[in-house]
Amino acid sequence: MASTAVENAASLTAEADVEIPAGTFAMGDPFGEGYDADGESPVHEVRISAFRISATTVTNEAFAGFVDATGHRTESELYGTSAVFHLAVKARPEDILNRVEAVPWWLNVRGADWAHPAGPLSHWTDIPDHPVTHVSYNDALAYCAWAGRRLPTEAEWEYAARGGLAGRRYPWGNELLKGTPGEAAHNCNIWQGEFPVRNDLDDGYLTTAPARSYNPNGYGLYQTSGNVWEWCSDWFLPKYYRTCLARGTVEDPPGPTIGRGRVMRGGSYLCHDSYCNRYRLAARSSNTPDSAGANLGFRTVAL
């Protein structure tokens, strides 16, 4: 019975996998644009074995299949609240509990969770092909255990996210927009306008976009810049890259054994160069394993 369940779960993601060839790449920020506290430098050489990774982040529909099969309750559901961006809340006034002090554009909303991503007056069935959000690192691990998969390492994530382009700022090149001024086309879902009070919606979305929006990178991965942050398996330790550089070419690094949270990669729909210039390929961030929010999801790797 257990093996059948894993086979059924794997069928939800297998057809969306892309093959990533083995290779060596320069990991880290070659432009000196990273935040010092994030440890995006020094650039160091990493060799990665071939692996298969999902072309997209896990969608609401796929996560619903997991919940239906297992009865899993996410940590946001257990806590009873989660963070929703202030312009996107769909909740009664009494369910908006407070603003998050350090980042007041986030509201703590009772009843916000993966199934109600904007609050209790929203539902995942309205956006089934969007990335699942309000999932913690621990929730992502539970999904992986059910699906017979795992989270990518940080090195695997960056290697796959680059799509075969060496030393580039974004999955498509070094310029944020493509095309001529006035006719430029957007390549990713990030904030447009004055953060956090006005989003001009130039790229079409206030919050999440469907998981297969925009063009994929050279390996066939969608939205490795913007849309939602993605959990990786590594602990987050800013000085880790320095230890890697001292060892020469590093093969399939698993990340440090300690850290101040788990690594998140890719940025989200709230990233803007005036506030969070972390939609670059080399950018890193972190959160505690039990944290969740409306701009945090994950993609998976085949075992």
Question: Among 11-15, 104-108, 129-133, 268-272, whose mean pLDDT is lowest?
Answer: 11-15
174 contacts 166 by C-beta, under 8 angstroms: no
Backbone angles phi, psi at 146, to 5 degrees: -70, -40
Distance CA 300, CA 147 (A): 9
What DSSP designation does 221 have?
Answer: -
Side chain identity at residue 162, one-letter code: R
User: pLDDT by residue (tens digit) across 215-255?
Assistant: 999 999 999 999 999 999 999 999 999 999 888 999 999 99
Give residue 1's pLDDT band: very low, low, confident or very high (50, 70, 90). Answer: very low
Copy the structure tokens of residue 135.
């999932």
Q: Which of 258, 285, 282 is nearest to 270 (CA)?
A: 285
ω into 42 cis (within 30 of 0): yes
- Give me the count of residues in the chain: 303
User: pLDDT by residue (tens digit) across 20-63?
Assistant: 999 999 999 999 999 999 999 999 999 999 999 999 999 999 99
Residue 10 predicted with pLDDT over 70: no
Q: What string of DSSP letters covers 94-126? A: GGEEEE-TTSTTEEEEET-BTTBBTBTT--GGG
Helix, coil or strand: residue 83 = strand
Distance CA 43, CA 26 (A): 6
| CA-to-CA dists, residue 8 to 13, 14, 114, angstroms | 10, 10, 22
Give residue 275's pLDDT band: very low, low, confident or very high (50, 70, 90). Answer: confident
40 contacts 34 by C-beta, under 8 angstroms: yes
Give residue 179's pLDDT band: very low, low, confident or very high (50, 70, 90). Answer: low
List, in order, residues 6 or more apart from 193 with CB less than 8 Å away.
199, 200, 201, 202
Q: Which of 284, 275, 285 is nearest to 85 (CA)?
A: 275
User: pLDDT by residue (tens digit) across 84-134?
Assistant: 999 999 999 999 999 998 899 999 999 999 999 999 999 999 999 999 999
Residue 138, H or E segment = helix 137-147
- The verdict on pTM exceeding 0.85 is yes
**Torsion sign over Cα 100, 74, 79, 259:** negative
Mean predicted confidence (pLDDT) in 262-278: 95
Residue 274 predicted with pLDDT over 90: no
Copy the structure tokens of residue 25.
């790449």
Q: Which domains does the chain have, with CATH numbers?
A: 2-69+131-302 (3.90.1580.10)
144 contacts 62 by C-beta, under 8 angstroms: no
